[in-house]
């Protein structure tokens, strides 16, 4: 392995003088005295592991390199962990850059060398120690990961745990993300690739365990908290008693969501209502919330959005759909089938497709109601376009769609908000849009793991029986009560303005493309940016990530 590493290092491409890599060279050179003193002081500070792992994930590395610098300037002893080709596949492995047929024949993916070199080039200028994952795994554990990944029956991988850690769940989530599908049906290389992801999961376990055996950290900080390797890093750190902080880019321009101990996919569901229900909700806060929610119809204040120039004119919508708004309408919002396929206790159905099919079956027996299914636009406009389309699955399951059921495909420019505003109520699985619709006074039924579950302003079901009992009461023929709407809006304010933390030095000139806009290292010092202070305080002192 060492010879392989040396060979890769010799072949590293030169990094040009543009972008964020060169920026760290420039900033540190201009503030060398400040940076040298900070690093010396940090040697006695709290030990923070920035477990970036994926060197080519530009958007991640931009934020994590800046937080590495900010934490160092605040006296923290920061170290980095990066993969150098150890993992046979990971979150950076996508079907459009590594076909499954070729992938299973290789020791690492075609992107590994580029990923390794980009991570090295970005983080090395900081002068912070980097732990390379291949240097943490001995031949014994290389063999062990191979043996286990080949031995486990394929049907048991999803639920397979290694020493109590859910390595199988994250392996399955990783391969579903790779295929951009909600299941692996019809993929000829699926089993081999799932075993490959399981091997990558196990290698991550062994690498992180060895690192934590050698070094003691107060906190491990890294993005997402799910998939491979991030989900596995979290599993190991929590088991070893290392405090975990995860983060994700959020919706509003230049904002991010941070969470303690687990991915926000989980923590936003379990977050106690006491974090927000007691806040004084002023008229100004209400106006701020409603103005922003209205802006989400077009995404004008967001750096993550999925509809371009949405059609809001009801005449055009009726013409395209053929729906009759004089009859009761029930809305239904799907999500991307492969996204965040984790295990949740509150799901009423086996999966989202099962929910969709059973709902269509139910409404086929309710000609008094019109069901409008809005397929998520991210199926075609997301960063990883789905290869398993909801419309295709519906057409495969049903010979004929009942006349009272209308399906808006992901390509349609119909405004989700405009159409749902005309509905008596809306059924969701796990979309965040439930927050916005509730704030509009539209009753929302939750059949999956949506974040509004158990917040006191939605109708939550946890079994098919409960679900059908709620559907039997439709149409409701009335909106939400005033006090319930107020509660929903208060939560919307909490979610969009208190949990989403602004870091103004990160910008996005292009969709899904982040850049650093720093003129001096001093912009990262304590007291210069309230959002950055809150984030660093949360990482260093386990304080709340709430503004």
Each residue of 429-481: pLDDT tens digit? 989 999 999 999 999 999 998 899 999 999 999 999 999 999 999 999 999 99
Low-confidence ranges of the chain (pLDDT < 50): 1-18
String of DSSP letters for 71-108: HHHTT-EEEEEE-SS-SSS-TT--TTTS-HHHHTTSSS
Q: What's the pLDDT score for residue 13?
A: 33
CA separation for the pair 526, 179 (Å, rounded): 43
**pLDDT tens digits for 277-321?**
999 999 999 999 999 999 999 988 998 877 778 999 999 999 999
377: left (phi over 0), alpha (psi -120 to 50) or beta: alpha
* Residue whose structure tokens are 């890294």: 222
Q: Which residue has the tokens 């997402």?
A: 224
- What is the predicted pLDDT for the residue at 74? 98
Contacts of 392 (CB under 8 A, 6+ apart): none
- How far, in Å, CA of 302 to CA of 295, rounded? 8
H or E segment to which residue 425 belongs:
strand 425-428
pLDDT of 248 reads: 94
What pLDDT was estimated at residue 1? 44
Q: Which domains does the chain have, with CATH numbers?
A: 27-244+508-541 (3.40.50), 281-498 (3.40.50.2000)
Residue 342 is predicted with a pLDDT of 60
Four-residue CA torsion sign, 387, 390, 394, 400? negative
pLDDT of residue 20: 60
pLDDT of residue 309: 84
What are the backbone dihedrals phi and psi of residue 357, each rounded to the nearest 5 degrees, phi first? -65, -40
């Amino acid at each position: 392995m060492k010879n392989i590493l040396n060979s890769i290092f010799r072949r590293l491409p030169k990094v040009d003088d543009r972008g964020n890599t060169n920026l760290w060279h420039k900033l540190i050179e201009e503030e060398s005295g400040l940076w040298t003193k900070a690093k010396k002081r940090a040697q006695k500070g709290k030990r923070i592991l920035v477990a970036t792992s994926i060197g080519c994930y530009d958007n991640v590395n931009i934020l994590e390199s800046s937080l590495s610098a900010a934490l160092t300037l605040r006296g923290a002893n920061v170290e980095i962990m990066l993969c150098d080709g150890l993992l046979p596949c990971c979150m950076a492995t996508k079907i459009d850059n590594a076909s499954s047929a070729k992938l299973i024949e290789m020791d690492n993916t075609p992107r590994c060398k580029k990923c390794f070199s980009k991570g090295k080039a970005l983080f090395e200028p900081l002068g912070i120690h980097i732990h390379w994952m291949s240097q943490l795994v001995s031949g014994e554990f290389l063999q062990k990961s191979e043996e286990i990944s080949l031995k486990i029956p394929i049907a048991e991988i999803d639920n397979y745990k290694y020493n109590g850690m859910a390595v199988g769940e994250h392996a399955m989530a990783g391969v579903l993300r790779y295929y951009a599908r909600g299941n692996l049906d019809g993929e000829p290389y699926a089993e081999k690739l799932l075993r490959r992801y399981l091997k990558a999961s196990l290698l991550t376990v062994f690498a992180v365990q060895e690192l934590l055996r050698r070094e003691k950290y107060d906190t491990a900080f890294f993005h997402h908290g799910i998939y491979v390797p991030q989900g596995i890093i979290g599993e190991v750190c929590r088991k070893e008693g290392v405090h975990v902080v995860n983060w994700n880019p959020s919706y509003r321009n230049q904002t991010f969501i941070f969470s303690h101990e687990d991915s926000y996919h989980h923590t936003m569901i379990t977050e106690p209502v006491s974090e927000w229900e007691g806040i004084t909700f002023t008229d100004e806060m209400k106006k701020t919330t409603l103005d922003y929610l209205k802006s989400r119809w077009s995404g004008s204040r967001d750096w993550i959005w999925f509809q371009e120039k949405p059609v809001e004119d009801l005449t055009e919508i009726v013409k395209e759909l053929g729906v009759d708004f004089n009859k009761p309408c029930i809305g239904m919002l799907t999500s991307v089938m492969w996204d965040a396929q984790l295990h949740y206790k509150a799901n009423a159905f086996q999966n989202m497709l099962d929910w969709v099919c059973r709902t269509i079956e139910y409404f086929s027996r309710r000609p008094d109601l019109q069901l409008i299914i809005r397929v998520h636009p991210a199926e075609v406009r997301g960063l990883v376009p789905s290869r398993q389309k909801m419309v295709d699955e519906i057409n495969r399951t049903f010979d004929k769609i009942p006349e009272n059921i209308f399906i808006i495909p992901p390509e349609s420019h119909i405004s989700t908000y405009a159409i749902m505003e005309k509905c008596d109520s809306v059924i969701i699985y796990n979309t965040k849009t439930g927050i916005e619709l509730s704030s509009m006074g539209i009753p929302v039924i939750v059949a999956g793991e949506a974040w509004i579950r158990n917040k006191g302003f939605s109708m939550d079901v946890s079994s098919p029986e409960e679900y059908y009992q709620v559907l039997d009461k439709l149409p409701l023929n009335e909106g939400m009560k005033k006090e319930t709407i107020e509660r929903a809006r208060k939560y919307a304010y909490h979610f969009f303005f208190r949990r989403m933390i602004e870091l103004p030095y990160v910008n996005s000139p292009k969709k899904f493309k982040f850049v650093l806009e720093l003129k001096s290292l001093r912009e990262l010092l304590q007291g210069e940016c309230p959002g950055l202070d809150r984030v660093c305080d949360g990482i260093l002192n386990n304080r709340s990530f709430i503004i």
